[in-house]
Structure 1
């Protein structure tokens, strides 16, 4: 099975078949305490796609907690990275570059001096973000990438930890604590016991944690992503997508405790984590464990949505903010990769009518996933027919998407895979294991519906609105207009029978 890319970590990502029309690329340069990162996006949209992503682990904030100043070595590395990023943006013809700086530059006595040199290196002014503003932007990043978020966002950087409550689109009042992984390493004298004591003291009065019990803790930041990657490898998890990865709270505490007490180099699959990141893992684990003990969430969910995504979301108008990011991303893929984008939209309405007539129970979330699967249905058409199902499954299970959890990813992949594979074959059992039996059933039904739709329309727009497929008095009836009567035949009958068997209805083709 092909592996995924975590677009919070990889060097470059793109859709591969051209760019969206009427969009201009934009870039954010995030000057943090641990890393300096450039992320270039295809455009300022509701579901922005990274087209280039590079980070430099500069350790800019190393020692700030104890010396009060940025180290010369860290500043030199950061300035080298910023000069490179400036040139990269020129090569990509990006005029809209927004650099921001956080805790390290905010807290250091020589922060202003560094920012002056950094502005010259990147070629434009740098915005120094306050701790409370950082918390708000991190929350907006989660709101923009998680469907109906409900819990507390924790953004762990090298110099600080931001905590803030989120509920749907509402963002609470945040706090910023000097509990970043590098800051904690320095202030504790590299002692885990001291770090545990400091974290407990600092988090005792963190107001957002008062309302976390039984809800979700959204973990943002590279150190926590690295911990989640190790947890994935330890569990032999079938995906490597960070966004939406769920760890039950009890498991997260046990794993954090393990990371704290053992030699980092002895951890399973630690080779997947960069050498520069490894020393901070135990301190990130200390903070995570104390948050869970103090706030008592039901689960930890990893979010790639954070400050950078929040900055983009903050620039959107209300109408764009209100759009569903999963469906926006699906429409972009449909536009770029399908034979006829209009057919995907026809497919939504056609399957709506079928589902309503069938009286198959469907939740609002399942309907949303079905609509996305209709838009993704033709993305593999350029590939060899023998490979289309595998491509669709791996692409949709692993591609960068927001607004969907891992079971939802599995549903999308299975629905489109069955559309190519047929009902007599089965999909990858590892991916299938992520979905509930109910989602599995819905994926097979939608796959069979799409198999009928594509064979009757040749993937052309305007055909499905003239062809009705409804459940009528215990039968599955496909009605063709007289001028399309010649479409009836063994191949169409065969596909209709496949669907009929899944829903327990006798199939029938009517010309009328």
Structure 2
């Protein structure tokens, strides 16, 4: 699949891929135990896109386990980083900067010195408690996986936060001093000490496991582990968000990682060199935690504390918006020839698919919102461009198989036919891809009939009548039915295995049958 799509990237480099700003720019400066990071956001409030992202591996928490303080060199690296970040925010005209610090600054004996020096640089550092950090990470998971129901685990350099999420809310939370920078000292004292330590900490915190709940993985070390698993299993879609593993896989990976040298780990795509040294400890901790919690499966979240800080400040009505559909609408509007009728397309083709359940209707609607994203591409690559956008855009609230369905729908809509592009059949079921291909052909018909504008869809409709599909046009609008429209209507009918018919305002029309051998 990657070889097929690589051509598209070259064609699409100069194409617009981001919507116009919907509100003032915001930024999060996240001062963690391992890294200090700036992320600048723009676009829709519910699911803003990342305008800029930079991190510095300052290592503020590297010496905490030994000295209890931030080392002078680490403090200077961290302060230089946030000084640069503050300057960039001013240059980017960011109106809302939130600067937060977590376990390293919270626990260090000289953490107050770091905060005071940051204030001199013009930044007010908000020192998060362990509970606030856990809530922020959990909110981030709910932002990117709205129906999450289970335990969120956020592994940082200085601490591990756990939170129970259910029904869109955060319930019990705890913060444990089990960050990856603290684990080597614990594990050095014996192979079983980590298990006993975690069990004791959970018991002391009053955390009672609920068996068979998903465990949502947050944090760079655990995301790096998921990418390693993708390599081992040859997973065809290199998107870590909502990547799933069995709970038993954690223990298997712990054994594998302990026997793999660092040079091999550094060869993994998207595996930063700074994550390699912490991977064995992070994997060992994951194995222990899921065993103690009796988790059912592992689900990776690309969203965490930073996204959670944005999400928890949103009004409830905006929180309720579907992140996939908000992002698809913004992307579709940015690239459309004529804006504003993705929902009209969805309503227009819906009568052909009365059996679609809520989950399928949602992906179908996303495809309709993206119905114009490939029009600027070279005509020979429009179908591939659609696949690229579906598979590799920064969507959240969508599983791997749903991405494959979205890719199939756009592939078929942009002229790729009903055959699945190479690799999609390894991600989604054949019947799901078949359904998505029909959506694509229906969208293709809608775009040809309407010319890409809304008006002609408002004066026409489709119906599925037993063994046929009927296209209704008012008598005054029958001239919209040209040869190209009939050809696309015929292709759709052939793919569905039915007849097709054009009907005027009085219900009069001519019935056509699929061509022989095309049922």
3-state DSSP of counterpart to 2:423: helix
Residue 503 of structure 1: how far off its partner (Å): 2.5
Change (3 A) 1:21 1:29: closer
Alpha carbons of 1:509 and 1:393: their partners in 2 closer, same or farther (altered >3 Å)?
Answer: same
Secondary structure, counterpart of 2:161 in structure 1: strand
The residue number in structure 1 matching 2:77 is 77
Query: Is 2:462 the counterpart of 1:469?
Result: yes
By how many angstroms is 1:487 displaced? 2.8
Alpha-carbon distance between aligned partners in 1 of 2:189 and 2:492, rounded to the nearest angstrom: 62
TM-score of the superposed pair, with normalisation by structure 2: 0.90
Q: Equivalents in 2 of 1:191, 1:398: separation in Å?
A: 43
Kindly state the Cα deviation for residue 414 of structure 1 after the two structures are TM-superposed. Answer: 1.2
The corresponding residue for 2:373 is 379
Report deviation, 1:14: 12
Rounded to whole Å, the distance in 1 between the matches of 2:476 and 2:2 is 44
> Who is 1:302 aligned against?
300
Deviation for aligned residue 1:196: 4.8
Aligned pairs (5 A) from 1:317-356: 317-356=315-354
Show CA shifts across 1:370-404 (max 9, x none). 11111011111111111111011011111101111
Change in CA separation of 1:256 and 1:446 when aligned onto 2, cut-off 3 Å: same
Judged with a 3 Å threshold, the aligned counterparts in structure 2 of structure 1 residues 14 and 228 are, in CA distance, closer, same or farther, namely farther
User: Could you say which residue in structure 1 is the equivalent of 2:46?
Assistant: 46
1:247 pairs with one of 222, 242, 245? 245
Q: Does structure 2 retain, via aligned residues, the 8 Å contact 1:65–1:187?
A: no
CA contact (8 A) 1:257 1:289 kept: no
Change beyond 3 A, Cα 1:268–1:254:
farther
TM-score of the superposition, structure 1-length normalised? Answer: 0.92
Q: Does the Cα contact within 8 Å between 1:423 and 1:498 map onto a contact in 2?
A: no
Distance 1:327 1:272, change over 3 A: closer
What is the CA–CA distance in structure 2 between the aligned matches of 1:90 and 1:192, rounded to whole Å?
50
Secondary structure of the structure 1 residue equivalent to 2:436: helix
Whether contact under 8 Å (1:61, 1:182) holds in the other structure is: yes
Once the two structures are TM-superposed, the CA of residue 22 in structure 1 deviates from its matched residue by 4.0
The answer on whether the counterparts of 2:46 and 2:318 sit within 8 Å (CA) in structure 1 is yes
Look up the match of 2:445. 452
Q: Aligned-pair distance for 1:197? A: 4.7
Is the CA contact 1:25–1:44 (under 8 Å) kept in the aligned structure 2? no
Query: Within 2, Cα distance between the matches of 1:45 and 1:310?
Result: 12
Partners of 1:181 and 1:105 in 2: CA distance: 16
Q: Deviations over 1:433-454 (max 9, x none)?
A: 2112232122111011111111
Inter-CA distance 87–229: structure 2 relative to 1 (3 Å threshold)? same
Q: Which residues of 2 match residues 106-121 of structure 1 at below 5 A?
A: 106-121=106-121
Q: Distance in 1 between matches of 2:278 and 2:322?
A: 36
* Cα deviation 1:332-368 (Å, max 9, x = unaligned): 1122111122221211211223323xxxx22111111
Cα distance in structure 2, aligned partners of 1:288 and 1:83: 35
Residue aligning to 1:9: none
Q: Deviations over 1:119-164 (max 9, x none)?
A: 333x221100000111111111111110311111000000000001
**Which residue of the partner structure matches residue 136 of structure 2?**
137
Instruction: Name the CA distance, whole Å, in 2 between partners of 1:15 and 1:97.
Output: 30
Deviation of 1:423 after TM superposition, in Å, equals: 2.8
Mapped pair 1:364 → 2:358: yes
- Taking the TM superposition and a 5 Å limit, the aligned residue runs for 1:233-272 are 233-267=231-265, 269-270=267-268, 272=270
Distance 1:471 1:271 in 2: 47
In 1: Cα distance, 2:52 partner to 2:324 partner: 21
Unpaired runs of 5+ residues, structure 2, are 4-12, 506-519
Cα distance, 1:189 vs structure 2:
4.4
Q: Is 1:174 aligned with 2:167?
A: no
Q: Say which SS state the counterpart of residue 85 (structure 1) adopts.
A: helix
Judge conservation of contact 1:476–1:507 (CA < 8 Å) in 2.
Answer: yes
Contact 2:21–2:42 (Cα < 8 Å) also in 1: no
* 8 Å Cα contact 1:344-1:377 kept in structure 2: yes
Residue 6 of structure 2 corresponds to which residue in structure 1? none
Structure 1 Cα separation of the partners of residues 15 and 33 of structure 2:
31
Please state if 1:434 is matched with 2:427: yes
Deviation at 1:59, TM superposition (A): 1.1
2-side partners of 1:158 and 1:368: how far apart? 38
1:232 is displaced (CA, Å) by 1.2
Deviation at 1:185, TM superposition (A): 2.2
SS of match in other structure, 1:279: coil
User: After the TM superposition, which residues 149-168 of structure 1 pair with which residues of structure 2 at under 5 Å, given as runs?
Assistant: 149-168=148-167
CA deviation vs aligned residue, 1:179-212 (integer Å, no higher than 9, x gap): 110121244448766545534543455655612x
Structure-2 residue corresponding to 1:494: 487
CA distance in 2, matches of 1:24, 1:131: 30
**Distance in 1, Cα, partners of 2:52 & 2:339:** 26
Distance 2:252 2:204 in 1: 24
Q: Kindly indicate whether residue 216 of structure 2 is the aligned counterpart of residue 218 of structure 1.
A: yes
SS across alignment from 2:277:
helix
Q: Is the 8 A contact 2:328 2:369 kept in 1?
A: yes
Q: 1:57 to 1:237 in 2, by over 3 A?
A: same
Alignment length (residue pairs): 496
Judged with a 3 Å threshold, the aligned counterparts in structure 2 of structure 1 residues 459 and 190 are, in CA distance, closer, same or farther, namely farther
5+ residue gaps, structure 1, are 4-12
Counterpart CA distance in 2 for 1:18 and 1:149 is 27
* Distance of 2:330 and 2:489 partners within structure 1: 30
Deviation at 1:270, TM superposition (A): 4.3
Displacement after TM superposition at 1:292 (Å): 1.6
Question: What are the residue-to-residue correspondences of 1:26-65 with 2, within 5 Å?
Answer: 26-43=26-43, 45-65=45-65
Task: Give the Cα–Cα distance (whole angstroms) in 1 for the partners of residues 504 and 363 of structure 2.
Answer: 32
Cα deviation for residue 265 of structure 1 reads: 3.4
Contact 1:210–1:295 (CA under 8 A) maintained in structure 2:
yes
Q: Deviations over 1:255-300 (max 9, x none)?
A: 1222135443344834752222211111110111011211222211
